[in-house]
Amino acid sequence: MARNGPARVLRVAERTLALYRALFPQRHRVGLALSHGSRSQIVAAHSLGIPVLTLDDYEFCDKSVFRFVDHHLMPFPIPKEAYGRYAGRVEWYPGLKEDLYLCDFRPGEQGPPELGAAGERVRVLLRPEGRFTHYRSSESAVLQEAILRHLAGQRGVFLVLLPRDTEQGQLLAGFCRAHNIPHWLPGEVLDGPALIWQMDLVIGGGGTMTREAAALGVPAYSFFAGHWGAVDRYLQAQGRLVQIAQAGDVERIGLVRRPRTWPAISHRALDFVAGFVERMLE
């Protein structure tokens, strides 16, 4: 956590203290603390003697709090050895994180009405780099600029912008206006998977959205310039995720309309995790 600066460490400490205070009166009634890598919850629950089960899908994350975890579930592509002395607490589940909640997803016929402006253009969802995330890389900003300039030179593209903060959204929308790129900057929170399904491709700078696209069978491109995790490498090997590693790779982006073919997502991962939780609560 140190690489993110004192402010981030302070926020984690504040959340940990708040959770500790909230849980303390009920600590004997709580049978399990379950999260997807919540540092604050892990520390607070462990301090109160509550069993801790956490999930994770990126092996290059900060592992300083894993000493407080009783069991650790992760997708099968990640080698247990990546967690060093904590490898003995790791269990694989048969799927990816996105399978846990997308296995029951059913796409709707209609997307947001604003997509009507796309007409017959290729719908491109852009999820920009995380400027303040723990996995940020300065190279991602360079690649993002190359992608935007590439899209600006293409006809028949409609860009959907999903920025990570207001300032980023304003900058991206300004670029689109300056280069006459038809675009839409949503002003409200949307159903991410439902929006992804309406796209012809998704381009992302890291995080979950490109993996969700890959899980849903939507062409996915990642310009994340940090350490690629085992899950992303697995998706890449399957041809479900394309890496944009240098400026010249923008030519690999396929700007074509796609057929809407629904992929069958197995319940195996969800059933495994639910069963694991039930066994810990027995």
The CATH class given to the 2-102+270-281 domain equals alpha beta
Give yes or no for a contact between 126 and 149, defined as CB atoms under 8 angstroms apart: no
Please list the alpha-helical segments (H only) found in the chain: 6-23, 39-47, 97-102, 138-152, 166-178, 192-197, 209-215, 230-237, 268-281
Confidence of residue 111 (pLDDT cuts 50, 70, 90): confident
pLDDT at residue number 2 = 42
Confidence of residue 109 (pLDDT cuts 50, 70, 90): confident
23-30: list long-range contacts, CB under 8 Å, 24+ apart. Answer: 23/48, 23/50, 24/48
The architecture that CATH gives domain 113-252 is 3-Layer(aba) Sandwich (3.40)
- Give residue-wise pLDDT tens across range 192-214: 999 999 999 999 998 799 999 99
In Å, how far are 47, 276, 277, 278 from 282, measured between CA atoms? 22, 10, 9, 6
Equal fold, 2-102+270-281 vs 113-252: yes
Radius of gyration of the CA atoms of the chain, in A = 20
The residue-averaged pLDDT of 24-31 equals 97
Give yes or no for a contact between 212 and 228, defined as CB atoms under 8 angstroms apart: no
Q: Annotate 33-67 with b (16+ C-beta within 10 A) or e (fewer).
A: bbbebbbbbbbbbbebebbbbbbbbbbebebebbe
pLDDT at residue number 6 = 83
Query: Roughly what angle, to the nearest 10 degrees, separates helices 6-23 and 39-47?
Result: 40
- Give residue-wise pLDDT tens across range 44-63: 999 999 999 999 999 999 89
pLDDT(1) > 50: no
pLDDT(132) > 90: no
Q: What percent of the chain has pLDDT over 70?
A: 96
The residue-averaged pLDDT of 271-276 equals 99
pLDDT at residue number 133 = 57
Domain boundaries defined on the chain: 2-102+270-281, 113-252
Q: What span, in angstroms and rounded, lies between the C-alpha atoms of 145 and 111?
A: 28
